Chain A
């Protein structure tokens, strides 16, 4: 064991690449294999294999007792949430001695989290134990892990573990790695808290903590870019948080209870406020989920964060937005179990669902469209995150829209959450490896890397096949289920618009294929203009990536594994029609003729898009600035601000020529809305502050006359 001083951790470049047989890599690889084996055994056990092993284990009294006591531990969620925080504390103690030890501790803690979450399974199957902490935050917190929560918990903890393994190696090249791991830990525990929350207030609490903790990850680079992106990120986050807060208040006021249970009767009685509430919730969670048109922070924030953070931001954190929408919409807005499809209680969720479907469609279109234009790998991946979130949103929309037959959409959305977490974080990790080795993020300047980085090229291919939805890879499964969902949306309600939605879905999938052909071609296949010199050794980066790739293939080959272990138990707890679930989802096969043909069409179309795009340089189109979304949204505001400035100063704005010139510029690409507002406020301030101060007694006179007259008028009326 090499002892390093704290400074070594915080100063990049002092640590050399450690080879495969160095202690750290070996141990973490073993740990990865071990944890994955445990997870694998668990899933196999859940599916009814390995009965012998489990009965053998439960026959040993000690193990059985420990198992039972942990299973029945009602405050298990708190334990899980505090594990990463505990890790932060420990690593703070340890990091003085050794940087490696600290990282090992972080990795160990995340693997513990996986282990601990497994104990929640038996209760989750029955809908979860509720654990209340009354009095905290005034209204009290509560935790409950049902199968939806458990599914999210599993994917989060597994992925976080693997990314932490990856992060050890990656962060050796970054500054302030201690700070990074501290905030990573806080973010992790808030993510876990969001997932395990049993009411909206708890979700809100952890959501806010996550916003602030992950902000520190986004701006970790401490460059101008990251400050810009971070400013955007945190303000959108705060706005989203406040939207959720308003919804919390409205909901508490109308329903009187915030725990995730059916509240549709109370909401129906309250009238149209229910649409305001769900609108605010979709807006608030949608900001985190990267939903159009409030996605603007995402393509800025994800690329500037250090790769492990962007892998998790794209892999897990934006999913929490989708998870939030799914959670609130399918609890508050769903009737109790057993309501009929035609029952009027479904009308609300029906109305909400159709708008969510279209939000999803718009989101996926915008995402893919911009992704095709990007040259920066990470930026392109970020836009794809938006687009894939569109798929998930669409699935959620279908789940709401179809009422008791929406199980297909629900399953598709949840499945796509899992899959997207896997392949998007893998893609980000690959991008990170490429940047780690070459220092270049522009894909047009890269090329030929498959010889230098064979393993990265392979896993990148796997992930690309996954995201494109090629059969035998995981994306295919969820995309097919989602496709079934959108087709059903048409069949059950017979609305023509859903046919368009389905067509757009196909085209977008083709666009995704095209853009990943582009990525793989430019980064790995193409002959490079200038070959890069690098001689990578096997290290933790590869371990983590290989493991995620294995998971992708595993899911792709056994699509029903996830379905049976996680999704169907959850569907059975929902008020969905049990016959529908039994007929169409249990034991469903995605490898049917119809589905495969659609996939072939998609791939062919994608190839065509890539071919023509590359040939006619369509990937380099720059849209005129006035089509820029932010410009369109904020233009009226900008004009208003400019006008009011003229009002205050007339034409010769004497006070500060430079700031005013900035304000007066027509094409205001560099100066954002918030900056404008701040500038405006300070100009306003400079103009009027002194004047107001001077007229102290005058204001008094006006006010006293005003209030007396007011009361006189009131009296006379």
Chain B
């Protein structure tokens, strides 16, 4: 039974996406409740799966019981199941929020479409996580692209069209790049199954260096585009800032991270870090990671729209993760994984709280945030927590990421990277702190700082508060999750 869980979750998501249109005439709450139930069921199943994998080790699931050189295969290990659990948990939180606020800018009769897209998005995300096949990854990536672009353009606004067009163009180039890499590898190995390809890459690297290296370059670039690593970040700020709030949180907090996870899979499982470091690719990654950490923040400073600013901030944060990966050590990967988690939480919290501000006050410019905390104290407190986490202040999970990343870079004899980490933290402070100061201290109405809770729907408030608590929790007690990440990293290396 347990072996079927990944497939069952995929089927559940697809079924839910199909069911949504059937409830078109019913009260919309029915759809959202049903969706929540599906999510919770899958969540429980995934918890069971993770527990099983944790106790009994990884297993593969072959579709139709074909041999792995011909059939499709799902690989369930702590890496895939664990991150599936994390992503699903975060999505449930965001989903609860979205039931009240999916609607910003979406026409009423199109609410349902948003949820269809959301569940297909989930389907693709889970597919990417579990699959053990290069070509299958490509297909899921394309499904993810199409759903993402549809979600971005679901709001019928001018800037959404241009943003999603930009997204399509660049991401399609990225996908094709990736596919080209797969083709080159297929040429050498004759397989698309990751394990088989990896084995034959190791054995035939010296004979087919040109092919394998070109494939590495193309795949890295392709995934880099999708993960918005610095020079390819172009599509991200517009796309994430124009999308509906809850999906901005998903896109920035999770989807981008998903591609990073593919990249990890590719670098460590497919090619193996030996080949990657023999080609000095890790230095390239380190450079673009470091450069992205700085430049993302510099671009963010110049923004006037808060959501765009958050988008650029995501680019800088992706730089942290890439930096951690490029170290190629257990500690580095561990730090990268932890940052995937903590940035997911923080960015989701930021996007959701900004979304609540947009929902309640209808403003999204930085200059309109003056005195916001007196009107929306809880939301702005969570925003502040997450922003402090971005800067790397202790008691938030962001600090733990910074600490681990710093220790990891020392451990890998790259101590100078600490300076970049710190400078990037300072740059983050340069754009997050003015918002916080304006929100908490520059009150428009003097003498009005009573502790009243803002009148936004409970279902929006609860997820935001939960995210805030999680940020603090992982800032205080990171060790359990870190030891999990260590296990995952040890397996990968």
Q: List 30 A-B contacts (CB under 8 A).
A: A10-B449, A135-B477, A137-B475, A137-B476, A175-B446, A175-B447, A176-B449, A179-B449, A205-B394, A212-B388, A227-B442, A242-B425, A250-B410, A250-B415, A250-B418, A253-B410, A677-B301, A678-B301, A692-B234, A699-B231, A700-B170, A703-B232, A704-B177, A704-B217, A707-B284, A708-B213, A714-B278, A714-B279, A714-B280, A715-B279
B470 at interface by CB-CB < 8 Å: no
**Interface-side segment among B57-65, B75-83, B401-409:** B401-409
* Residues on the B chain within 8 Å of A199, using CB: none
* Residues on the A chain within 8 Å of B177, using CB: 700, 704
9 nearest interchain CB pairs?
A685-B302, A682-B302, A681-B301, A249-B406, A253-B410, A135-B479, A205-B394, A242-B422, A707-B217
Q: In the assembly, what is the distance between CA of A245 and CA of B404, in Å?
A: 11
CB within 8 Å of A: which of B197-246?
209, 213-214, 216-218, 220-221, 224-225, 231-232, 234-235, 238
A689 at interface by CB-CB < 8 Å: yes
* Residues on the A chain within 8 Å of B404, using CB: 138
> A222–B443 contact, CB under 8 A?
yes
> A711–B279 contact, CB under 8 A?
yes
> B301–A711 contact, CB under 8 A?
no
* Residues on the B chain within 8 Å of A216, using CB: 441
Per-residue B-contact encoding for A1-30, CB less than 8 Å = 1, 0 else: 000001100110000000000000000000
Q: Smallest CB-CB separation from A685: which chain B residue?
A: B302
Q: Which of B231, B394, B399, B449 has the most CB of A within 10 A?
A: B394
Q: In the assembly, what is the distance between CA of A252 and CA of B407, in Å?
A: 8
CB within 8 Å of A: which of B362-413?
388, 391-395, 399-400, 402-404, 406-407, 410-411
A645 at interface by CB-CB < 8 Å: no
Q: In the assembly, what is the distance between CA of A686 and CA of B303, in Å?
A: 9
Per-residue B-contact encoding for A116-137, CB less than 8 Å = 1, 0 else: 0000000000000000000111
Contacts A685-B298, A700-B170 known; 10 new A-B pairs at CB < 8 A:
A137-B395, A175-B447, A219-B437, A219-B441, A222-B443, A245-B422, A250-B410, A677-B301, A689-B302, A693-B238
A276 CB to nearest B CB, Å? 9
Q: Smallest CB-CB separation from B170: which chain A residue?
A: A696
A319 CB to nearest B CB, Å? 21
**Interface-side segment among B85-93, B247-255, B426-434:** B426-434
Q: In the assembly, what is the distance between CA of A683 and CA of B446, in Å?
A: 34
**A side interface size, CB within 8 A:** 63
* Residues on the A chain within 8 Å of B279, using CB: 711, 714-715
> B173–A697 contact, CB under 8 A?
yes
* Residues on the B chain within 8 Å of A227, using CB: 437, 441-442
Q: In the assembly, what is the distance between CA of A10 and CA of B403, in Å?
A: 40
CB within 8 Å of B: which of A132-156?
135-139
> A249–B214 contact, CB under 8 A?
no
Q: Smallest CB-CB separation from A11: which chain B residue?
A: B447
CB within 8 Å of A: which of B435-455?
437, 441-443, 446-447, 449-451
Q: In the assembly, what is the distance between CA of A238 and CA of B231, in Å?
A: 29
| Given A10-B447, A250-B410, A704 contacting B218 (CB threshold 8 A) | yes
> A230–B225 contact, CB under 8 A?
no
Q: In the assembly, what is the distance between CA of A179 and CA of B404, in Å?
A: 35
| Given A685-B301, A700-B225, A711-B213, A137 contacting B400 (CB threshold 8 A) | yes
Q: Which of B169, B302, B429, B442 contacts A684 (CB 8 A)?
A: B302
> A253–B407 contact, CB under 8 A?
yes
> A715–B299 contact, CB under 8 A?
no
Q: Which of B173, B234, B394, B446 contacts A137 (CB 8 A)?
A: B394
B71 at interface by CB-CB < 8 Å: no
A231 at interface by CB-CB < 8 Å: yes
Q: Smallest CB-CB separation from B225: which chain A residue?
A: A700
A246 at interface by CB-CB < 8 Å: yes
Q: Which of A11, A179, A245 contacts B406 (CB 8 A)?
A: A245
Q: Which of B301, B394, B433, B447 contacts A209 (CB 8 A)?
A: B394
A584 at interface by CB-CB < 8 Å: no
A274 CB to nearest B CB, Å? 14
B281 at interface by CB-CB < 8 Å: yes
Per-residue B-contact encoding for A224-248, CB less than 8 Å = 1, 0 else: 0001001100110011011001101
A674 at interface by CB-CB < 8 Å: yes
Residue positions of B touching A, CB distance < 8 A: 166, 169-170, 173-174, 177, 209, 213-214, 216-218, 220-221, 224-225, 231-232, 234-235, 238, 278-281, 284, 298-299, 301-303, 388, 391-395, 399-400, 402-404, 406-407, 410-411, 415, 418-419, 422, 425-426, 429-430, 433, 437, 441-443, 446-447, 449-451, 475-479, 482
CB within 8 Å of B: which of A70-97?
92
Q: In the assembly, what is the distance between CA of A135 and CA of B476, in Å?
A: 8
A710 at interface by CB-CB < 8 Å: yes
* Residues on the B chain within 8 Å of A241, using CB: 393
> B221–A707 contact, CB under 8 A?
yes
B126 CB to nearest A CB, Å? 29
| Given A686-B302, A692-B234, A678 contacting B430 (CB threshold 8 A) | yes
> A238–B429 contact, CB under 8 A?
yes
Q: In the assembly, what is the distance between CA of A372 and CA of B436, in Å?
A: 37
* Residues on the A chain within 8 Å of B430, using CB: 674, 677-678, 681
* Residues on the A chain within 8 Å of B446, using CB: 175
> B232–A246 contact, CB under 8 A?
no
Q: Which of B299, B399, B403 contacts A685 (CB 8 A)?
A: B299
> A715–B213 contact, CB under 8 A?
yes
> A238–B426 contact, CB under 8 A?
yes
B403 CB to nearest A CB, Å? 6
| Given A222-B441, A696-B235, A700-B173, A242 contacting B477 (CB threshold 8 A) | no
* Residues on the A chain within 8 Å of B410, using CB: 249-250, 253
> A704–B399 contact, CB under 8 A?
no
> B418–A246 contact, CB under 8 A?
yes
* Residues on the B chain within 8 Å of A693, using CB: 166, 234, 238
Q: In the assembly, what is the distance between CA of A371 and CA of B279, in Å?
A: 61
> B221–A703 contact, CB under 8 A?
yes
> A235–B449 contact, CB under 8 A?
no
A240 CB to nearest B CB, Å? 11
* Residues on the A chain within 8 Å of B298, using CB: 681, 684-685
* Residues on the B chain within 8 Å of A505, using CB: none
> B220–A696 contact, CB under 8 A?
no
* Residues on the A chain within 8 Å of B425, using CB: 238, 242
Q: Which of A209, A231, A711 contacts B217 (CB 8 A)?
A: A711
Per-residue B-contact encoding for A179-199, CB less than 8 Å = 1, 0 else: 100000000000000000000
* Residues on the A chain within 8 Å of B391, using CB: 238
Q: Which of A250, A686, A710 contacts B284 (CB 8 A)?
A: A710
A137 CB to nearest B CB, Å? 6
> B302–A137 contact, CB under 8 A?
no
B19 CB to nearest A CB, Å? 38
> B302–A205 contact, CB under 8 A?
no
| Given A250-B415, A699-B231, A707 contacting B220 (CB threshold 8 A) | yes
A208 at interface by CB-CB < 8 Å: yes
A541 CB to nearest B CB, Å? 24
Q: Smallest CB-CB separation from B475: which chain A residue?
A: A137
Q: In the assembly, what is the distance between CA of A682 and CA of B392, in Å?
A: 23
Q: Smallest CB-CB separation from B231: which chain A residue?
A: A699
B402 CB to nearest A CB, Å? 7
> B395–A205 contact, CB under 8 A?
yes
Q: In the assembly, what is the distance between CA of A685 and CA of B410, in Å?
A: 33
* Residues on the A chain within 8 Å of B450, using CB: 6
A610 at interface by CB-CB < 8 Å: no
Q: In the assembly, what is the distance between CA of A692 and CA of B218, in Å?
A: 21
* Residues on the A chain within 8 Å of B209, using CB: 715
A332 at interface by CB-CB < 8 Å: no
Q: In the assembly, what is the distance between CA of A689 and CA of B476, in Å?
A: 38
| Given A685-B303, A697-B169, A246 contacting B422 (CB threshold 8 A) | yes
A279 CB to nearest B CB, Å? 14
Q: In the assembly, what is the distance between CA of A693 and CA of B169, in Å?
A: 12
A306 CB to nearest B CB, Å? 14
Q: In the assembly, what is the distance between CA of A520 and CA of B91, in Å?
A: 66
